């Protein structure tokens, strides 16, 4: 079967920038690739996770929720599953982004960073990702916007940089002080963040 010259040229032109520039390619809900990586299942093909004890169970259905998958290299991916199974159900549950690599029908989690991935604020082509993280602290809530990159050689996330911090009173009538009304107090007392130098 011969390929039409025009089709071949079109394919090469589409692939050329990705090959030359090392561009990050992304997909949303690519059930074939997600199934290949063992992130979720599709249809009646039930597959179980590789977790232990009470965490062992069937993988979630690829059709429920949103799965953002970014191919960084042949065998390195950034996975952001915005689904009940990965993020939880409460209003202050939090998703994470995972750096993963394939492993015989499953994946190995190399690193994890907490926060809801903001695809619109991220510069995916430049490898700059932005997440927003929420914490409820008694009568208040805290929002932290982080920016991070990926160290492909070490296969891990670089330390995130906090680019915005906001504190909100959930109930204006409360008289007790909020636990973290400023960034320094939050950084001193929260395990997921360390003071930045």
Q: What is the mean pLDDT of residues 102-113?
A: 87
Residue 6 pLDDT > 80: no
Of the ranges 46-55, 56-65, 114-123, 186-195, which one carries the lowest mean pLDDT score?
Answer: 186-195
**Residue percentage of the chain with pLDDT more than 90:** 9
Residue 178 placed within a domain: yes
H helix intervals, the chain: 5-21, 31-36, 84-87, 183-189
User: Residue 115 is encoded by which pair of tokens?
Assistant: 């926060």
From edge to edge, which strands make up the β-sheet containing 25-28?
25-28, 66-73, 76-82, 96-103, 106-114
Residue 13 pLDDT > 50: no
User: Residue 112 is encoded by which pair of tokens?
Assistant: 């994890």
**For the chain, what is the domain count?**
1
Distance CA 99, CA 112 (A): 6
Residue 152 placed within a domain: yes
Residue in 142, 112, 113, 148 with CA at minimum distance from that of residue 130? 148
Distance CA 90, CA 15 (A): 42
- Looking at residue 84, the DSSP 8-state letter turns out to be H
Q: What is the mean pLDDT of residues 27-50?
A: 80
Residue 162 placed within a domain: yes
The boundaries of the domain holding residue 114 are 21-189
Residue 91 pLDDT > 60: no
Of the ranges 44-53, 110-119, 163-172, 186-195, which one carries the lowest mean pLDDT score?
Answer: 186-195
Residue of higher predicted confidence among 128 and 5: 128
Residue of higher predicted confidence among 106 and 20: 106
- Looking at residue 21, the DSSP 8-state letter turns out to be H
pLDDT digits (tens, 9 = 90+) for 76-87: 899 988 887 777
Residue 111 placed within a domain: yes
Task: Supply the pTM of this predicted model.
Answer: 0.71
Residue 61 placed within a domain: yes
Residue 6 placed within a domain: no
Residue 194 placed within a domain: no
Q: What is the mean pLDDT of residues 143-166?
A: 89
Residue 2 placed within a domain: no
From edge to edge, which strands make up the β-sheet containing 161-169?
116-117, 129-137, 140-148, 161-169
């Amino acid at each position: 079967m011969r390929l039409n010259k025009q089709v071949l040229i079109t394919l090469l032109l589409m692939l050329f920038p990705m090959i030359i520039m090392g561009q990050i390619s992304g997909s949303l809900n690519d059930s074939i690739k997600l199934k290949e990586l063992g992130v979720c299942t599709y249809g009646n093909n039930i597959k179980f996770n590789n977790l232990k004890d009470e965490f062992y169970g069937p993988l979630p259905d690829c059709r429920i929720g949103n799965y953002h998958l970014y191919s960084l290299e042949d065998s390195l991916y950034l996975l952001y599953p915005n689904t009940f199974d990965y993020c939880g159900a409460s209003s202050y549950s939090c998703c994470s982004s995972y750096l993963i690599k394939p492993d015989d029908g499953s994946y190995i989690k190399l690193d994890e960073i907490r926060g809801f991935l903001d695809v619109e604020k991220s510069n995916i082509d430049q490898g700059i990702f932005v997440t927003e993280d929420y914490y409820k602290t008694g009568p208040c809530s805290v929002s932290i916007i982080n920016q991070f990159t990926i160290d492909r050689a070490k296969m891990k996330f670089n330390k995130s940089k906090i680019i915005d911090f906001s504190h909100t009173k959930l109930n204006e009538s409360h008289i007790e002080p909020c636990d973290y009304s400023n960034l320094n107090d939050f950084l001193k007392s929260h395990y997921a963040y360390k003071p930045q130098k």
